[in-house]
Amino acid sequence: MGSPRGQFSSRIGFILAASGSAVGLGNIWGFPTNAAENGGGAFVLIYFVLAFCLAYPALMAELIIGRYAKSNISNALQKISDNKATKTVGKVAGLYGITIATLILSFYGIIAGWMIAFFLEPLFTISGLSAVSNWLTHSGELRNLLFCALFILLTVGVIRAGVEQGIEKWSCRLMPSMLILMVALIIYVLFQDGALTGLKIYLVPDFQQISNPKLITSALGQAFFSLSLGVGTMLIYGSYLSPDENLPAMGAIVTIVDTSIAFLAGLLVLPALFVAQQQGLTIYNEAGSLIAGPDLIFQTLPALFQGMGLIGIPVSLVFFCLMTIAALTSSISMLEVPVSYTIENHGINRHSATWLIGGLTFAISTIIILNFDHMFDFIVALTTEYSQPLLGLMLCIFASWVWNRNKLLDEIRKGYPKVEASIFWKIWPGYVRYCCPALILLMFFQTILNS
Ligand code: PFF
């Protein structure tokens, strides 16, 4: 039986849920386009180094704090503090993290809604309802509102059912399905004309770019977003993890799954772009760089699928289904952050808390949709470029400066009795204490300088 506040019932349940949070639109869309814009293989290389050397240590900080405190980010940061000042900072930082998780969900829900609309489009095309399929693929407020609402409802449906019956059960169903769809698509795309050119651009590093500060900040931002760091998602998932589990190993598996799926996504998206070029589509923009961003997913790829004839219909269905699943396994982790806080700090039951926060998130999404040109990019930058790194920095500081080192060691020891003799323990504490904060700050100032 699970504990009253919920617990993952199995190791694989946790791994799939945490990897599900990590693997999302950031991997399948963000990673390949970032790679295309920033020197292909050079970006991939730097990304892997940063994911393991910087994002993994920060991920560990979240998992360890979460499992020790067995509560949401705001309570957890207070629990590991032993004086009034740090407790107050912990509370405020935690509440800020919860707000940022909700804001990320509100813009993520809009994009995920587009994925559902594009998924349905071919079904209406084959049914001869071309007016509907046209409406589905053309941006409009009503379409955006409806599909965002639908996606948030799906997320609410999973979170309402709790940790074991909702998060764990659905992650165990959705993650393997996503992987199968992805591998099937990669195999298909790699056999099309033009795919090998894309593969080359993706895998052959342009070493001249390796010291480009933009490449490094993009790779680090991508690694933080991809591992869902800073806002308390990994912390809350850690809080549902059994004390018997070996935390450094769990964190390493999640990082490996996340980076591997990002890598696989590159094998799909970049070759697909060059297959599109082979079919006569334009894949470079006026500035001479590869098409990225929304144009890639919502114009170039749909045009490619259309140009494939009949086979394009299942290919498009599979691609947008894959995107929707990836988005859903991430959005459930975002919604769990404010929901767990509402349950734990305001005594509201899970069912009501989920509807309440789901409704609030949709209200924010509605404001963004109705003021799209002014708000969308701003909210994305505020949450992912500025807030996530700063919150990640805060978590590293709390784990290494504020928390008592012996208590931290005891927590890891529960599932890993020999931790003191491991390389993890020889490197990690100093690393989160000095290197992570310094590197995150460096990246943060780079981001400010670039903006
Ligand atoms: N990791 C997700 C992705 O790569 O799409 C995004 C994400 C999930 C960001 C959860 C933040 C978060 F709290």
Model pLDDT for residues 14-59, shown as the tens digit of each residue: 999 999 999 999 999 899 988 888 878 889 999 999 999 889 999 9
Distance CA 336, CA 314 (A): 33
Give the pLDDT confidence score for residue 219 in this predicted structure. 87
With a Cβ cut-off of 6 Å, ligand 1 is lined by: 21-22, 24-27, 101, 104, 225-226, 228, 231, 233, 330, 333-334
Mutating to test ligand 1, I would choose from 174, 228, 234 the residue with most ligand atoms within 8 A of its C-beta, which is 228
CATH class of 11-415: mainly alpha
Distance CA 250, CA 235 (A): 13
- Residues of the chain with pLDDT below 50 are 1-3
Give the pLDDT confidence score for residue 39 in this predicted structure. 79
User: DSSP letters of 151-174?
Assistant: HHHHHHHHHHTHIIIIIIHHHHHH
Give the pLDDT confidence score for residue 3 in this predicted structure. 44
Question: 77 alpha carbon to ligand 1 midpoint, in Å?
Answer: 21
Give the pLDDT confidence score for residue 4 in this predicted structure. 67
pLDDT tens, residue by residue, 338-359: 999 999 999 999 999 999 999 9
Distance CA 259, CA 267 (A): 13
Asked if 230 contacts 392 with a C-beta cutoff of 8 angstroms, the reply is yes
Angle at which helices 195-203 and 247-278 pack, to 10 degrees? 140
Tokens of 428: 């990690």
Question: 400 alpha carbon to ligand 1 midpoint, in Å?
Answer: 24
Asked if 353 contacts 339 with a C-beta cutoff of 8 angstroms, the reply is yes
Question: 406 alpha carbon to ligand 1 midpoint, in Å?
Answer: 31
Question: 6 alpha carbon to ligand 1 midpoint, in Å?
Answer: 22
Asked if 332 contacts 236 with a C-beta cutoff of 8 angstroms, the reply is no
Q: What angle do CA 288, 292, 294 make, to 5 degrees?
A: 135
Identify the burial level of 316 via C-beta atoms within 10 angstroms of its C-beta, where 0-12 means exposed, 13-18 middle and 19 or more buried.
buried
- Give the CA radius of gyration of the chain: 21
Question: 228 alpha carbon to ligand 1 midpoint, in Å?
Answer: 4
Domain boundaries along the sequence of the chain? 11-415
Would you tell me how many other CB atoms lie within 10 Å of the CB of residue 103?
Answer: 22
Give the pLDDT confidence score for residue 336 in this predicted structure. 98
Give the pLDDT confidence score for residue 1 in this predicted structure. 38
Q: Which atom of ligand 1 is nearest to the CA of 24?
A: 5
Asked if 50 contacts 218 with a C-beta cutoff of 8 angstroms, the reply is no
Residue nearest to atom 13 of ligand 1 (CA): 228
